Structure 1
């Protein structure tokens, strides 16, 4: 198991096939998917495929979403990290996207912010990136607030699949 980053409270490690139950809890919750297209998963096969996709990203691009693990309990509490996006989004291809998702009982504790900051630092210091992008549903006040708090700048609003989204960027400070 590879650990990519650690913070005061968190371990950010590769997502493993053994994370299937916790990821199912995360992605089967309609509240978690409220701003993600309202399409929660309904069986663990979908989670196994998601884990396989993420693990293939590690091999293909050297990066992918990471499990967020609570240091005190050793529990999977969500995921965060960078993903290399090759599909076109808002006129952009081949870019690094910051994302995060937490099991609902962990919301409101600064975990997404802490994990996002560690992911950004990894992107700039380890991967040598010059910029990272992020997307948030315009109605997701929490996610928009987190992105601004960790240093992202709002670039523009755009629409994807009928959903109004905000496009953000953070650039490496020289």
Structure 2
């Protein structure tokens, strides 16, 4: 009898993929169908809507589509959207994602770190903790060497967080709501928050 390891596209072993991640204060769980209402409410918050959904909040059908795409991506590559919850117990306080984005027509997609928190939870370090957890997962479990991020140039707090995480600006491009800063993080370097 032989053992076969199923390798999703991208060469990731199935046992490396995790739909549940945890940090000191947070749990990150891959979004599921039962999260539609909570994600729809989060997407409707002004800043989340502006920075993640290009100013138009998604409807329930679009949120369901996002969950379906996340589930598919997770199955084939270990990526997707995770709901952020406090370990102390709470509903969804934000999202963090490893998501493909094609920067230029004809070029291969690059994997991006995407994050958004409800305004009620900003300023407590939850975004940094969630991002650090996903970066660690991308480095140690998925074996990535680089991770990208696109952030509204005027989103000072998100840009500051990316800098603290070690992301380096590569370029500024025009986005649907204004200029976007494209940054990259070399995952081969040890990760530590830069204060």
Q: State the secondary structure of the residue aligned to 1:40.
A: coil
Q: Deviations over 1:109-156 (max 9, x none)?
A: 111111001111111111111110011010111110111111111111
Residue 33, structure 1, aligned to residue 49, structure 2: yes
Residues 98 and 111 in structure 2, CA contact (< 8 A), matched pair in contact too: yes
Which residue pairs with 1:54 in the alignment? 70
Is contact 1:3–1:11 with CA below 8 Å preserved after alignment? no
Of the three residues 6, 22, 27, the one matched with 1:6 is 22
How far residue 35 of structure 1 moved from its aligned partner, in angstroms, is 3.0
Structure-2-length-normalised TM-score: 0.79
RMSD, matched Cα: 2.0
Distance 2:81 2:107 in 1: 20
Spell out structure 1 runs of 4+ moving beyond 4 A: 89-92
- Tell me: CA distance 1:90–1:111, structure 2 relative to 1, closer, same or farther (3 Å): farther
SS in 2 for 1:73: coil
2:52 is the alignment partner of 1:44: no
Does residue 138 of the first structure (1) align with residue 153 of the second (2)?
yes
Alignment: residue pair count: 171
Alignment of 1:82 with 2:77, yes or no, is no
Taking structure 1 as the reference length, the TM-score comes to 0.88
Q: Is 1:73 equivalent to 2:57 in the alignment?
A: no
Residue 91 of structure 1 and its aligned partner are, at CA, apart by 8.3
Structure with max Cα Rg: 2
Question: What's 1:166 paired with?
Answer: 181
Partners of 2:116 and 2:174 lie apart in 1 by: 21
Q: Provide structure 2 residue ranges, at least 5 long, that are not aligned to the other structure.
A: 1-17, 191-195
Distance (whole Å) between structure 2 residues aligned to residue 62 and residue 29 of structure 1: 28
Answer yes or no: is 1:127 the counterpart of 2:142: yes
Aligned residue for 2:121?
106
